[in-house]
């Protein structure tokens, strides 16, 4: 991806200070998504990175990850599986808890969402500390799926989330090196 394209995507993302709590600068991608050409380019750049890999299914983490993941699944011509936050799935599910700065959270997947041996691409909008993505990968592995890649629109490199995801192909389009 060319540097100009990265800057164009980055410039379309709005910073929202003190959200969801004081001291956090939230990267709001809705301002990028509303621009059809930039939304399409984001999905196309992710597709370009993974199109030569064998991928049986795309999973994505709630909620903004669903937007990118579903579009990428469509482009790859594979199915889509949502990984949800607590108490959102109606059928039998697996749960993986993970730590936050201020407590714990959990993600869930239906027990029949991934068949053993499936090649799985995980998608989310943002990589911060990596806890949510790691929990999602653990769910995929519990179902005996193989994580072939983890794709993000944005990576906050200064939080070192990539370190939790060592051993997997982690790909992000936009990297913020400092707060």
pLDDT of residue 179: 73
Cis peptide before 143 (omega within 30 of 0): no
- List the one residue out of 51, 31, 17, 29 whose CA is nearest residue 152: 29
Percent of the chain exceeding pLDDT 70 equals 99
Say whether 108 is catalytic.
no
Q: CA–CA separation, 174 vs 147, rounded Å?
A: 21
pLDDT of residue 165: 98
With cut-offs at 50, 70 and 90, classify the pLDDT of residue 15.
very high
Across the chain, what does the average pLDDT equal?
95
pLDDT of residue 101: 67
Q: Which two tokens stand for residue 97?
A: 């808890």
Say whether 64 is catalytic.
yes
Each residue's pLDDT tens digit, 85-135: 999 999 999 999 998 767 789 999 999 999 999 999 999 999 999 999 999
pLDDT of residue 4: 72
Q: State yes or no: pLDDT of 150 exceeds 80.
A: yes
The arithmetic mean of pLDDT across residues 144-154, rounded, is: 98
With cut-offs at 50, 70 and 90, classify the pLDDT of residue 14.
very high
- List the one residue out of 144, 94, 98, 154 whose CA is nearest residue 120: 144
Each residue's pLDDT tens digit, 43-83: 999 999 999 999 999 999 999 999 999 999 999 999 999 99
pLDDT of residue 81: 98
Q: Do the bridges between strand 146-156 and strand 119-127 make them parallel or antiparallel, or are there none, so unpaired?
A: parallel
Active-site entry in 8, 10, 84, 101 = 101
Percent of the chain exceeding pLDDT 90 equals 90
58 or 178, which is more confident? 58
With cut-offs at 50, 70 and 90, classify the pLDDT of residue 6.
confident
CA 29 remoteness from chain centre: 13
Other beta carbons within 10 Å of 127? 26
Active-site entry in 64, 108, 155, 162 = 64
Domain at 54-176: CATH architecture: 3-Layer(aba) Sandwich (3.40)
For residue 2, report the phi and psi dihedrals to the nearest 5 degrees: -75, 150
């Amino acid at each position: 991806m060319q540097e100009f394209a990265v800057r164009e995507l980055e410039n379309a993302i709005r910073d929202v200070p003190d959200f969801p709590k004081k001291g956090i600068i939230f990267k709001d991608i809705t301002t990028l998504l509303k621009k059809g050409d930039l939304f399409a380019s984001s999905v196309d750049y992710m597709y370009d990175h993974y199109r030569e890999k064998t991928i049986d299914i795309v999973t994505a983490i709630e909620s903004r990850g669903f937007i990118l993941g579903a579009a990428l699944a469509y482009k790859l011509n594979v199915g889509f599986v949502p990984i949800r936050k607590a108490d959102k799935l109606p059928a039998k599910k697996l749960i993986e808890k993970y730590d936050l700065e201020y407590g714990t959270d959990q993600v869930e997947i239906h027990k029949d969402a991934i068949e053993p041996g499936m090649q799985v691409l995980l998608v989310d909008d943002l990589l911060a500390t990596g806890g949510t993505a790691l929990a999602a990968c653990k769910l995929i592995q519990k179902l005996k799926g193989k994580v072939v890649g983890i794709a993000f629109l944005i990576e906050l490199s200064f939080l070192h989330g990539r370190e939790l995801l060592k051993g997997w192909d982690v790909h992000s389009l936009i990297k913020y090196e400092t707060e």
